[in-house]
Amino acid sequence: MLAQGFSIDMMVELIDSGLATTVQTKRFVAGGYEGGRARVRITEAGRRALSKQLAAR
């Protein structure tokens, strides 16, 4: 999602508001860098919000 222009703050807000959910998380170490990855999925409420927004265009 970062590659699509979503910021981490935006993703946290979507998850906190129930429009998306974390499906899978994974921690990793690569080249001395410790990081994490999370798979995020749009919820049914998120789909309804998107369809309403697209219909209003």
Predicted confidence (pLDDT) per residue in 21-48, tens digit:
999 999 999 999 999 888 899 999 999 9
Residue 51 in tokens: 């369809």
Give yes or no for a contact between 21 and 41, defined as CB atoms under 8 angstroms apart.
Answer: yes
Q: Of 31, 29, 19, which is closest to residue 6 (Cα–Cα)?
A: 19
DSSP per-residue codes, 1-57: -GGGT--HHHHHHHHHTTSEEEEEEEEEEETTEEEEEEEEEE-HHHHHHHHHHHHT-
Mean pLDDT of 4-22: 91
Domain that holds residue 21: 2-55
| Total number of domains in the chain | 1
Q: Of 15, 34, 40, 38, which is closest to residue 26 (Cα–Cα)?
A: 38
Mean pLDDT of 13-20: 94
Q: Does residue 4 register a pLDDT over 90? A: no
pLDDT, residue 37, reads: 87
pLDDT, residue 18, reads: 95
